[in-house]
Amino acid sequence: MKSKFVLAIALAIGAVSIGAQEQRVTAKEAEAMVKKGVTFIKGNPRDKAMAEITNKKGMFIDRELYLTVYTQDGTALAHGANEKFVGKNMIDLRDADGKEHIRERMELAKTKTSFWQDFKFTNPVTKKMEPRSMYCELSADLVVCGGIYKPA
């Protein structure tokens, strides 16, 4: 009887662990969200699009996935995780390892229309600093990005 109870607990813990892993956003989901954001920006007035992308309860939030939109000089026009970034030039922002990830992103956008970029950032769901891969697309004069977090 005791071994069945221990087995049931072990299975339950395993199911919770598997469920937590399944809750992570996938690279395909991030790419699809960025494409949805680019389409939305193209089809709406810019101020309306940026407000919706920044809206924490809006259509561009899914678990830890949110979009960011920057001008090519590094100014945030929309940020789904932190509205305080909107309107600020973020080019000198550094991640936990000192990497100037916004500067790097803008440099990549000069030569690529879409790309992935790695850095570290605080996950808005877990509140932990985690490795992050950001998928970005250049759309006219904007860099539209959404990323996935990877457990540290």
Which of 23-37, 119-133, 134-148 shows the lowest per-residue confidence on average (mean pLDDT)?
119-133
Judge whether residue 1 has pLDDT over 70. Answer: no
- Ordered by where they begin, the domains of the chain are 25-149 (3.30.450.20)
What's the confidence (pLDDT) of residue 69? 98
Distance CA 56, CA 81 (A): 7
Q: Do residues 8 and 121 lie in contact, with contact meaning Cβ atoms separated by under 8 Å?
A: no
Distance CA 109, CA 145 (A): 11
Q: How far apart are the first and last CA of the chain?
A: 38
What's the confidence (pLDDT) of residue 151? 76
User: E-strand spans in the chain?
Assistant: 61-62, 65-71, 76-79, 114-122, 129-139, 142-149
CA–chain centroid gap for 144, Å, is 10
**pLDDT (tens digit, 9 = 90+) per residue, 15-62?**
444 444 458 899 999 999 999 999 999 999 999 999 999 999 999 999
What's the confidence (pLDDT) of residue 20? 45
**pLDDT (tens digit, 9 = 90+) per residue, 101-125?**
999 999 999 999 999 999 998 888 8
136 forms beta bridges with 115, 145
**pLDDT (tens digit, 9 = 90+) per residue, 4-27?**
443 334 444 444 444 444 588 999
> What is the pTM assigned to this prediction?
0.83
Average pLDDT over residues 52-81: 96
Nearest CA among 152, 59, 84 for reference residue 93 = 84
Judge whether residue 83 has pLDDT over 90. Answer: yes
Distance CA 19, CA 37 (A): 28
Model confidence band, residue 152 (pLDDT cutoffs 50, 70, 90):
low
